[in-house]
Chain A
Amino acid sequence: MSVSTARLPAGFEALSPFVDFWAADTAAGRADCRQRSDAAARQAFYAAASPLLPAALDYLDSRPLAQLDSRPLAQLDDAEQGLMRLLLSFAHLAMAEELQRDEEAKHARDRDFLRITRASADEAAAGSNEKA
């Protein structure tokens, strides 16, 4: 895995080395990251991201004045979008690390029969691209 210089929001720099491999921009792409990853890559990303997950979601949800309502997703900048994609990839990875564990390689063969064609995050990404 190469060391990325991708910019992430302050406080989440520890996740920068994982951006190149894991920050895919579609749900199918993120599922494919899990499929292509080896055990060492999964363990490294999980160990780095799991302690930061609550703070990262709080950060992305929050508004500057810490108002209670959530920040509109469309207002996320590139660094925040990168962090969002990493968290979404973590959602797939967590299945491997928390549920499948030693069975991950065997289970990967069955997952190939269930391909992801569309996800709610993809819809939003397509919408933001259209606005750009």
Chain B
Amino acid sequence: MFRIYWVGADSSASERFGREFSMANLRDVHSEDRAVIEAGQRGLNSGALEYIHCQEQEVLLRHLMYHVNQRVEGYRAERAGVEA
């Protein structure tokens, strides 16, 4: 799912057109990304790649992975405490 956030309602025809155009454009871009993401996931599932290096331009992905890892490790620590 993709969500696009705008500030306020459309204030003019030009702004409405610009928002619809941007949405249509992003939809085309993400449609293409979907095939690449699926191919990448197939590659990961094969086990051929053990690591993926996230570069500087992937800062949002790194941020997401950092917080997911923190949550998972926190849950594991909590479970370990319950079972001990």
Chain A residues with CB under 8 Å of chain B are: 27, 30-31, 57, 60-61, 70-71, 73, 76, 84, 87-88, 91-92, 94-95, 99-100, 107, 110-111, 113-114, 116, 119-121, 123-124
Contact = CB atoms under 8 A, between A and B. Distances in A.
27 contacts: A57-B13, A60-B14, A61-B12, A61-B14, A70-B12, A70-B14, A71-B12, A71-B13, A84-B16, A87-B17, A88-B16, A91-B20, A94-B21, A100-B28, A107-B31, A110-B32, A113-B34, A114-B27, A114-B30, A116-B27, A119-B20, A120-B16, A120-B19, A121-B19, A121-B20, A123-B9, A124-B10
Main secondary structure of the interface of B (DSSP, over half): helix
Interface residues on B, range: 20 to 34
Interface of B: 2, 6, 9-17, 19-21, 23-25, 27-28, 30-32, 34-35
A51 B57 CA distance: 38
B13 A114 contact: no
